[in-house]
Structure 1
């Protein structure tokens, strides 16, 4: 109201100076007549961590939603870097967005609206049409209600795969890796591809990885970072199975069979892959889009198995959630539903389709550069640590430091490093 009153006072002052009382009466009546003033739009706030092309796509989806809801304006808030801090600050200030991208549901559970009732009465969302396993990431145990509840609708995902450099494999006369391959086969290929004179490696290992992503290595070996009880780190991070995988990777580094990524100058994996310094590496679906921009010849294949166990990949899953304190939840739900519709999923060309129907429609089951992501998505049997304990972030830095210490240590005992880290991490959770 203050801007309106201020403009009225300014107009009256001008009228007094000019003596145009008749015109003043006309202006006053125009301000007072609601039929001649355009109603203010309803603002729906949508927070995203994306930028660049993905942000533009989301803005187009917002515009399409507005076209179907006259009088509604979707305010896309691009938080970018520091997304979690900005979102937490918004909740702390009592001013959260209506709808938001979310991944860490256990941490934010108490400030999010449960969506079970919305899903039960809305046939527009078919849970069975989503890639298997995605809903578990937004399903959290509600201790007060003594039941699991859904707090988000899946919006995007990626599994982890091995990318291979076709140019390097062709020059070495090597066949491309096939599904069902093993770590032993990867090592043999890496040894054939190693070229000290060109400073080229057959495989690049990220020695400063996000612990979340590193769970793929441990699961494939039969290990894990955290026990099913959500508290026990000892006996898991430092289990014989976990130690075996660490020792195997450490030996590859010590024998100079593989190169290091994530440390030092020139260790950017995209640059090394494109410049033929690394023939194989592990990454998610976003890397596929980067290599396509570089016009690089590459292929993808599922993760190799280790010691006879089936390979498992961790999934990175994003979902749309709703603020529990929101004042326009029906509108927020309509936006979430539209964002999850086939129409919007088709628009999100930077994401792997979360809807099986759209993936089938686009022939992705036959696309060799996409099919492995869906196959690895079905491989995940374990639960990521953060879903087992909302306080996992307290222990994650300890695990990160231990991984880096193991890989950067030339003579260190990886077993002893993991034993110390498991004890320290568990103390932070208890």
Structure 2
């Protein structure tokens, strides 16, 4: 073979390799082989998630089940993990977003998302009345739905039965008060054993604190999203936050999760916290650690109804998707009874029928979370004002300062003063 012919052959092989390596991830179709070895084109549907580990496997199983029901579709899962926001924002910026994605931060992304109200109106088989109504408060911006609820957790108090029994303190019951809570925490604290009645987070997300503030009759922001003066720094807001700062000062609670500190989940598992407040996420790990624990709904401020806040995931469709109808079919499947049953215990089921089937509404460990869901009818601050992220930076600093010993009213007044410049336009 001549040298020239050799080079021609090499170039042909290189071209073939390059061409065969291209495609798939950027296109809408890809090749797959059937049992006989023939090839057929499949439509690729891109799905972005923040899940990792076991929960990612659940997403993969849901994708496979959808593919089984839609033989011409390949679901390409894009696990963005902790970089979810950055990668999603970059994909929108590059006009190359996934077709469907998990979502929670609707004020940030809604202009890039497809409004789903028309799809919902045309589809009678969704059985949306089987999904808890309050969850829909979390997917709307300016009255339009930009996602469908997919999973959630409310918040409750975990308590260590062994520590309660050893101290002769009765187990807490639904309907208890913050006075009951503080009295129990004081009795359950034994500093000689490095044991405390409650764990207070050194670094807090104000989002999680809203339930306490709502329960005391206040809010971080007005219902119309236009004012924080008299809300974020109201006496009731200050009182709700001061409660935790005072417990740390008095020694019946300990700061957890700060620099060089263990987090509350680990300390609770070690038997050194009598009470811990959280969502459903650590429940299974507490079981695995063989902690003898119970759960109870949040305490009440005197004469005021208890209110809760929800951490919720939804599923949304990109406005730039070129296959919105297929994306909508995946959304429908993702919230179907089949898919909801497949999801891990990291999220609570959104469908009433499945909750009843699993008897979660009767299980003593899960029931308080559904009781708190019923009490979660308020709209979170971040959904009420487009500049909330900027306001929240000042609020977050103030909340953490309270936990570290500063006076709530003073730091909240300062936060309102510093953040008011962002409150011009709703």
TM-score by length of 1: 0.88
Q: For residues 219-258 of structure 1, what are the structure 2 equivalents within 5 Å?
A: 219-258=214-253
The alpha-carbon deviation at position 37 of structure 1 amounts to 5.4
Match of 1:401 in 2: 397
2:187 aligned to which of 192, 197, 202 = 192
Contact 1:220 1:306 in 2 (8 A): yes
Match of 1:427 in 2: 421
Pair 1:415 & 2:409 matched? yes
C-alpha distance after superposition, 1:251-281 (max 9, x if no partner) = 2221111111222434311221011111101
- CA shift in 2, pair 1:374/1:36, >3 Å: closer
The alpha-carbon deviation at position 417 of structure 1 amounts to 1.0
Q: Larger C-alpha radius of gyration, 1 or 2?
A: 1
Match of 1:290 in 2: 285
Separation in 1, partners of 2:14, 2:282: 59
Separation in 1, partners of 2:70, 2:121: 23
Q: Higher mean Cα deviation, 36-45 or 103-112?
A: 36-45
Match of 2:13 in 1: 10
- CA shift in 2, pair 1:252/1:38, >3 Å: same
C-alpha distance after superposition, 1:282-341 (max 9, x if no partner) = 100101122122222111110000122111111111100000111111111111101100
Q: For residues 253-272 of structure 1, what are the structure 2 equivalents within 5 Å?
A: 253-272=248-267
Separation in 1, partners of 2:103, 2:10: 42
Match of 1:360 in 2: 356
Match of 1:300 in 2: 295
Separation in 1, partners of 2:265, 2:407: 31
Match of 2:24 in 1: none
Separation in 1, partners of 2:181, 2:263: 21
Which ranges in structure 2 are unaligned for 5 or more consecutive residues? 1-8, 17-35
The alpha-carbon deviation at position 77 of structure 1 amounts to 0.6
Contact 1:201 1:279 in 2 (8 A): yes
Contact 1:183 1:304 in 2 (8 A): yes
Pair 1:212 & 2:203 matched? no
The alpha-carbon deviation at position 358 of structure 1 amounts to 0.8
1:372 aligned to which of 368, 374, 383 = 368
Contact 2:239 2:408 in 1 (8 A): no
Match of 1:164 in 2: 159
- CA shift in 2, pair 1:332/1:184, >3 Å: same
Q: Secondary structure at the match of 1:41?
A: strand
Which ranges in structure 1 are unaligned for 5 or more consecutive residues? 1-5, 14-34, 142-147
The alpha-carbon deviation at position 83 of structure 1 amounts to 1.0
C-alpha distance after superposition, 1:353-395 (max 9, x if no partner) = 1000111111111111111111101102321001101221111
Contact 1:322 1:333 in 2 (8 A): yes
Q: Secondary structure at the match of 1:235?
A: coil
